[in-house]
């Protein structure tokens, strides 16, 4: 029996490695978002600074490990075999949930996950214990001196404190982030170069001093270094406490002088502050969140050691040994830190999560990931109404002063000049990092596992609101996005509790067979999600194109010819799929059209950014560029209807098309192939004198479509074709006419675009 539990301990550590990989993919947004969003340094330098912060932070996380051992439940009321069920259920559930959120690019909370998984699994095992072990319950009742219920097994006060701290941190992070950003913007404005010369070093000195205080001075108490003996005989923890004001003073003066020297050497001190902040928040993240990934396996390892030392049976040995302080081995913390660093460098899922956060906090508009919602519209309406009232109450001079300070035109002009512009400026990035790292460090100091995801995300949302990044054209989308993410957090809590409860229940009754079976399920889910994420990444790479003014004509020509080439192949597949009733072929063709649609939508959504890159002489060119994209989008819509209705017809087994209809559609497919071949050849060779003959060909084909429609109506009259058959066939003919019209419209717009571009 001892061997099987040793295997389970090894499994826990294997799951810990997997959880570290999955967890860092989710939480990388917490410490990379600001530096990457502001483009404070090359990507590799940002990653290197964050990696160093993680390694240092892991050595500060020892005190937080108690949360997994006794922070949520009372281990002294559970037997060793029950504790192992709880820990295994937690780890397996955690990997499933985090990997699912990562795959869809949604930032969730590893802290909330682990807290509610521990709670759900502990409640599940407690329910089983109450139902099946009356003698054990009687013993517990003698110890506690009152009737035993589920609440007896849960560390209610600590659990409520942790959950309250997490929820409170959401409000505090948003409010503090908005306030500090508002004051910082009043001080520096968006055109901050001048004011930065006078106040930048002092502002930076205060920021780094605050980071030093909360991370080093307040965080040292629970770290591995707290017992280090100083030359005067005091241990480091006490020495820091006694000299904290002195350390803060020296820190402020030293950093102010260093930053001032950097300014004299023409070094951008905002980049220095952002990189120091990145190091600090990565360090705070590791110190606070490492418990989420390895706290449970370490608790399982210490429980195993306690059980082996007792020599008792696994089903009778109470885990009182976990109630005291158990030191965490430094080498295990360092190994965990190294795994986190490696994951940080190689994970692609982390970049999808980062993109969600950057999209919602970007200073400029563009493609919005989220739509509009009733709640968001009502919030925006109320805020705009309140803002108008406040403006009326304030003097005109004050309003002008505020408008000047929050005028983002200087930043947007810089954005327009860059090929890959930052999402926001260095001032906001610095505030994000400083405020978030301080709040997380406060939680770590009080041994409260705050959600670093909640804190950093809400700070970023607060600063973006204060910076007026949520303007009238993007506010409803941004607020909907924030509501969606926060809703996802509540869903995380509910699903973590529920899934962990059910998995622990399965393990309690299914034993070792259920445990190893569930492990196989988890491996399958992770592998499939990895394949799904990789497929999404490849699909995204085919959609996103960066268009510069100097190559817009070439890119436009390539987009048109590529789309028109695909039209012929897609229509051929539709006809073949209808003829053979090949559902799989039509389904794959539908996926191809979806990609085509996304390509057209991406180009259309980014018109604003592309046109901004054009010079004043290209206004007429811009008009034709917009026209071309409109027709590309319409062509994609036509194909969507043709393929979608054909797939639906076959999927629902509405019956085969008539042989004569298939013959007619094959003829249409051949005509489309020849028609688009002429258009593509004309565009590529720029022989636009052929346009007139192509328009004549189009009219002949439209006349043929009208003939086919008349014939189909006669079939309906003579009851040769049913309702579904007729709706599909007539719908395809109608969309083919639209395809033909959009084809020549594309050709004419491209001709005009080409002509004006040459001029």
Q: Domain boundaries in the chain?
A: 2-358+423-467+489-538, 548-758
What is the mean predicted confidence (pLDDT) over 685-701? 87
pLDDT band at 447 (very low <50, low <70, confident <90, very high): low
pLDDT band at 707 (very low <50, low <70, confident <90, very high): very high
- Identify the CA nearest to 192 among candidates 432, 468, 418, 408: 408
- Identify the CA nearest to 747 among candidates 607, 597, 610, 632: 632
State residue 426's pLDDT score.
Answer: 79
Q: How far apart are CA 602 and CA 595, in angstroms?
A: 10
In 3-state terms, what secondary structure has residue 357?
Answer: helix
In 3-state terms, what secondary structure has residue 235?
Answer: strand
Residue 495 DSSP label: H
More confident residue, 380 or 53: 53
* 103-112, 148-157, 171-180, 498-507: segment of lowest average pLDDT: 103-112
* 6-10, 286-290, 360-364: segment of lowest average pLDDT: 360-364
**Tens-digit pLDDT profile for residues 594-607:** 888 887 777 776 66
What is the mean predicted confidence (pLDDT) over 529-542? 63
Say if CB 21 and CB 343 are below 8 A apart: yes
Contacts of 367 (CB under 8 A, 6+ apart): 359, 602, 605, 606
- Which H/E stretch holds residue 187? helix 156-188
Output helix, strand, coil percentages for the chain, rounded to the nearest 5. Answer: 80, 0, 15
The crossing angle, in degrees rounded to 10, of helices 43-58 and 269-290 is: 40
Name the burial class of residue 96, with classes exposed (0-12), middle (13-18) and buried (19+) by CB atoms within 10 angstroms of its CB: buried
pLDDT band at 121 (very low <50, low <70, confident <90, very high): very high
Interior CA angle at 212 toward 209 and 214, to 5°? 110
Q: How far apart are CA 155 and CA 278, in angstroms?
A: 35
More confident residue, 22 or 633: 633
The residue assigned the tokens 């020495």 is 239
Q: How far apart are CA 512 and CA 519, in angstroms?
A: 11
State residue 258's pLDDT score.
Answer: 92
In 3-state terms, what secondary structure has residue 154?
Answer: strand
Name the burial class of residue 671, with classes exposed (0-12), middle (13-18) and buried (19+) by CB atoms within 10 angstroms of its CB: middle
What is the mean predicted confidence (pLDDT) over 635-655? 88
pLDDT band at 142 (very low <50, low <70, confident <90, very high): confident
State residue 543's pLDDT score.
Answer: 45
What is the mean predicted confidence (pLDDT) over 254-271? 88
In 3-state terms, what secondary structure has residue 142?
Answer: helix
Q: How far apart are CA 539 and CA 533, in angstroms?
A: 10
Contacts of 256 (CB under 8 A, 6+ apart): 201, 202, 204, 205
**Tens-digit pLDDT profile for residues 351-388:** 555 555 555 555 555 555 555 667 767 777 777 777 77
Q: How far apart are CA 387 and CA 331, in angstroms?
A: 55
Name the burial class of residue 692, with classes exposed (0-12), middle (13-18) and buried (19+) by CB atoms within 10 angstroms of its CB: exposed
- Determine the length of the chain: 759
β-pair partners for 235 = 229
State residue 58's pLDDT score.
Answer: 80
- Identify the CA nearest to 343 among candidates 10, 32, 12, 100: 32
Contacts of 378 (CB under 8 A, 6+ apart): none
Q: Is the per-residue pLDDT at 427 higher than 70?
A: yes
Report the range out of 45-54, 253-262, 650-659 with the highest average pLDDT. Answer: 253-262
Would you state the torsion angle of the CA atoms of residues 20, 23, 24, 29, taken in this order, to the nearest 10 degrees?
-170
In 3-state terms, what secondary structure has residue 79?
Answer: strand
State residue 501's pLDDT score.
Answer: 94
State residue 745's pLDDT score.
Answer: 85
Percent above pLDDT 70 for the chain: 79
Q: Is the per-residue pLDDT at 640 higher than 70?
A: yes
More confident residue, 347 or 647: 647
Q: Is the per-residue pLDDT at 702 higher than 80?
A: yes
Contacts of 221 (CB under 8 A, 6+ apart): 63, 237, 445
Q: Is the per-residue pLDDT at 473 higher than 60?
A: no
Percent above pLDDT 90 for the chain: 9
Q: Mean pLDDT score of the chain, rounded to an integer?
A: 79
Say if CB 439 and CB 173 are below 8 A apart: yes
Q: Using DSSP, how many helices (H) and how many strands (E) does the chain show?
A: 28, 0
- Identify the CA nearest to 212 among candidates 452, 450, 441: 441
Query: Which pair of tokens denotes residue 451?
Result: 């959600």
φ/ψ of 229, rounded to 5, equals -90, 130
Q: How far apart are CA 99 and CA 518, in angstroms?
A: 16
Q: Which CATH superfamily is domain 548-758 in?
A: Phosphate transport system protein phou homolog 2; domain 2 (1.20.58.220)
Count CA within 13 A, CB hemisphere, residue 758. 6
pLDDT band at 544 (very low <50, low <70, confident <90, very high): very low
State residue 13's pLDDT score.
Answer: 85
- Which H/E stretch holds residue 365? none
Distances (CA, A) of 62 to 110, 428, 538, 717: 18, 32, 40, 82
Q: Is the per-residue pLDDT at 289 higher than 60?
A: yes
State residue 336's pLDDT score.
Answer: 82
Count CA within 13 A, CB hemisphere, residue 297. 26
What is the mean predicted confidence (pLDDT) over 543-554? 52
State residue 257's pLDDT score.
Answer: 93
Say if CB 118 and CB 357 are below 8 A apart: no
Q: Is the per-residue pLDDT at 306 higher than 80?
A: yes
State residue 533's pLDDT score.
Answer: 64
Q: How far apart are CA 258 and CA 180, in angstroms?
A: 23
Q: In 2-64, at which residue ranges do the beta strands (DSSP E only) sit? A: none
State residue 522's pLDDT score.
Answer: 84
> According to the 3-state scheme, what is the secondary structure of 712-752?
HHHHHHCCCCCHHHHHHHHHHHHHHHHHHHHHHHHHHHHHH
Q: How far apart are CA 112 and CA 490, in angstroms?
A: 9
């Amino acid at each position: 029996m001892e061997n099987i539990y040793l295997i389970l301990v090894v499994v826990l550590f294997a799951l810990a490695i997997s959880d570290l990989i999955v967890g860092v993919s989710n939480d990388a947004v917490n410490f990379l978002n600001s530096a990457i969003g502001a483009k404070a340094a090359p990507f590799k330098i940002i990653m290197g600074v964050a990696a160093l912060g993680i390694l240092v932070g892991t050595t500060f996380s020892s005190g937080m490990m108690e949360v997994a051992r006794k922070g949520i439940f009372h281990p002294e009321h559970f037997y060793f075999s029950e504790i192992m069920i709880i820990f295994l259920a937690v780890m397996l559930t955690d990997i499933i949930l985090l990997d699912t959120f990562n795959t869809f690019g949604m930032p969730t909370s590893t802290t909330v996950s682990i807290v509610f998984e521990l709670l759900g699994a502990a409640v599940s095992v407690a329910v089983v214990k109450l139902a099946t072990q009356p003698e054990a319950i009687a013993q517990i009742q003698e110890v506690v001196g009152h009737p035993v219920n589920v609440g007896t097994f849960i560390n209610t006060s600590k659990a409520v404190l942790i959950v309250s701290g997490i929820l409170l941190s959401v409000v505090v992070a948003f409010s503090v982030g908005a306030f500090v950003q508002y004051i910082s913007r009043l001080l520096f404005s968006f055109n901050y170069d001048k004011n930065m010369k006078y106040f930048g070093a002092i502002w930076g000195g205060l920021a780094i001093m605050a980071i030093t205080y909360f991370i080093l001075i307040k965080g040292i108490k629970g770290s591995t270094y707290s017992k280090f003996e100083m030359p005067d005989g005091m241990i480091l923890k006490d020495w820091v406490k006694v000299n904290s004001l002195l350390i803060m003073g020296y820190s402020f003066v030293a950093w102010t002088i260093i930053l001032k020297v950097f300014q004299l050497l023409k070094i951008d001190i905002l980049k220095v502050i952002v990189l120091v902040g990145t190091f600090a928040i990565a360090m705070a993240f590791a110190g606070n969140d490492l418990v989420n990934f390895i706290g449970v396996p370490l608790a399982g390892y210490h429980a195993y050691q306690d059980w082996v030392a007792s020599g008792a049976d696994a089903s009778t040995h109470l885990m009182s040994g976990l109630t005291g302080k158990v030191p965490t081995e430094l080498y295990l913390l360092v190994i965990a830190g190294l795994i986190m660093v490696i994951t940080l460098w190689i994970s692609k899922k982390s970049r999808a999560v980062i993109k969600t956060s950057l999209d919602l906090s970007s200073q400029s508009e563009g493609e919005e990931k989220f739509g509009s919602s009733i709640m968001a519209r009502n919030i925006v309406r109320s805020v705009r109404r309140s803002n108008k009232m406040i403006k009326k109450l304030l003097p005109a001079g004050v309003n002008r002063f505020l408008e000047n300070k929050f005028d983002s035109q200087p930043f947007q002009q810089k954005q327009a000049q860059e090929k890959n512009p930052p999402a926001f400026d260095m001032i906001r990035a610095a505030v994000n990092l400083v405020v978030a790292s301080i709040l997380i460090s406060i939680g770590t100091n009080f041994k409260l596992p705050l959600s670093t995801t909640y804190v950093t995300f809400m700070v970023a949302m607060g600063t973006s609101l204060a910076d007026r990044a949520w303007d009238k054209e993007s506010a409803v989308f941004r607020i909907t996005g924030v509501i969606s993410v926060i809703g996802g957090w509540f869903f995380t809590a509910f699903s973590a509790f529920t899934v962990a409860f059910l998995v622990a229940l399965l393990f309690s009754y299914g034993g070792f067979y259920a445990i190893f079976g569930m492990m196989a399920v988890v491996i399958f889910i992770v592998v499939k999600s990895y394949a799904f994420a990789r497929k999404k990444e490849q699909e995204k790479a085919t959609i996103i194109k960066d268009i510069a003014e100097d190559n817009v004509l070439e890119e436009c020509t390539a987009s048109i010819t590529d789309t028109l080439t695909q039209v012929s192949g897609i229509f051929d597949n539709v006809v073949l799929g209808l003829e053979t009733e090949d559902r799989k072929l039509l389904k794959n063709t539908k996926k191809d059209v979806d990609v085509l649609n996304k390509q057209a939508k991406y180009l259309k959504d980014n018109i604003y950014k592309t046109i901004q890159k054009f010079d004043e002489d290209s206004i007429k060119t811009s008009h034709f560029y917009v026209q071309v994209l409109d027709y590309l989008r319409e062509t994609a819509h036509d194909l969507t209807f043709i393929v979608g209705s054909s797939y639906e017809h076959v999927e629902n087994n509405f019956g085969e098309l008539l042989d004569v209809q298939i013959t007619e559609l094959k003829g249409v497919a051949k005509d489309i192939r020849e028609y688009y071949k002429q258009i593509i050849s004309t565009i590529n060779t720029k022989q636009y004198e052929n346009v007139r003959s192509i328009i004549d060909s189009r009219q002949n084909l439209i006349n043929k479509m009208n003939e086919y429609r008349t014939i189909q109506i006669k079939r309906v009259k003579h009851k040769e074709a049913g309702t579904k058959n007729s709706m599909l066939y007539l719908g395809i003919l109608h969309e083919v006419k639209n395809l033909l019209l959009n084809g020549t419209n594309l050709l004419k717009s491209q001709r005009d675009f080409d002509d004006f571009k040459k001029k």
